[in-house]
Structure 1
Amino acid sequence: MLVQVLIKLAALVCCYRGVAGYSQKTVEIEELLVPESPRAGQDVALTCRFHLRGHNHRLYTVNWWRGKDQFYTYKGTSADPKHAYTFRGIHVKTEQSTEESVVLRNVSEETSGVFKCEVMGEGPSFRTAVATKPMQVVVPPSSVEIRSRVIRDPPVYHVGERIHLNCTATGAKPRAVLSWDINGTPVRASEVKQVPDYEDHNGRVTSTLSLTWDAPTYFSNNLARVTCNAMVSGHASSATKDIYLNPASSAAYNHQYASAGCQLSTAWTILSLAFLLVARQVP
Structure 2
Amino acid sequence: MRGSILLFMLVLWKQDCVRSVRLIELRVPGHAAAGGEALLGCQFDLEGDLLYSVKWYKDGREFYRYMPRGANQTLRFLRPGVTVDLRRSSSDVVTLVNLKLESAGLYRCEVSGEAPQFATVADEKYITIHILPKGGPRITGLRYQYDIGDRLIANCSSPGSRPQAQLKWLVNNRPTHKGHLRGPWLRVAQDPPDTVEVTLGLNFMVLPGHYKNGVMEVKCQSTIAPLYQREKAYILSMPDLNEDTTNKESEIDLGPEPADTMDLSDKLMQENIINSFRELANTIHLELPALTTTTPEPDTTTSEPEPHDSDAQSTSKGTSLTFSIVLLTILLQLLL
TM-score using structure 2 length: 0.62
1:38 CA displacement: 3.1
Match of 1:103 among 72, 95, 99: 95
- Indicate whether 1:134 and 2:126 are aligned: yes
1:13 CA displacement: 8.1
Q: What whole-Å deviation, never above 9, does each CA across 1:121-153 have from its counterpart, x for those lacking one?
A: 1223222111001122333222411111x7xxx
Q: Structure 2 regions of 5+ residues with no counterpart?
A: 252-336
Structure 1 or 2: larger strand share? Answer: 1
Structure 1 residue aligned with 2:153: 164
Change (3 A) 1:220 1:270: farther
- Indicate whether 1:195 and 2:188 are aligned: no
Q: Which amino acid aligns with 1:225?
A: E
Q: Which has the higher contact order (CA 8 A, sep 6+)?
A: 1
Match of 1:247 among 240, 247, 251: 240
Q: Which amino acid aligns with 1:164?
A: I
Structure 1 or 2: larger helix share? Answer: 2
Q: Which amino acid aligns with 2:36?
A: Q
For residues 141 and 245 of structure 1, the distance between their equivalents in structure 2, rounded to whole angstroms, comes to 34
Query: 1:141-152 counterparts in 2 under 5 A?
Result: 141-143=133-135, 144-148=137-141
Structure 2 residue aligned with 1:44: 38
Query: 1:197-216 counterparts in 2 under 5 A?
Result: 197-199=186-188, 204-216=195-207
For residues 214 and 269 of structure 1, the distance between their equivalents in structure 2, rounded to whole angstroms, comes to 28
Q: Structure 1 regions of 5+ residues with no counterpart?
A: 1-5, 252-266, 275-283
1:232 CA displacement: 0.6
Instruction: Report if the CA contact (8 A) 1:46-1:101 is conserved.
Output: yes
* 2:80 partner SS: coil
For residues 158 and 194 of structure 2, the distance between their equivalents in structure 1, rounded to whole angstroms, comes to 14
Question: Identity percentage over the alignment?
Answer: 24
Change (3 A) 1:51 1:129: same
Match of 1:76 among 49, 65, 68: 68
Structure 2 residue aligned with 1:120: 112
Instruction: Report if the CA contact (8 A) 1:222-1:247 is conserved.
Output: no
* 1:137 partner SS: strand
Change (3 A) 1:215 1:77: same
RMSD of aligned Cα (Å): 3.4
Mark the structure with the bigger radius of gyration. Answer: 2
Q: Which amino acid aligns with 1:146?
A: I
Change (3 A) 1:77 1:196: same
TM-score using structure 1 length: 0.72
Change (3 A) 1:270 1:108: farther
For residues 269 and 38 of structure 1, the distance between their equivalents in structure 2, rounded to whole angstroms, comes to 57
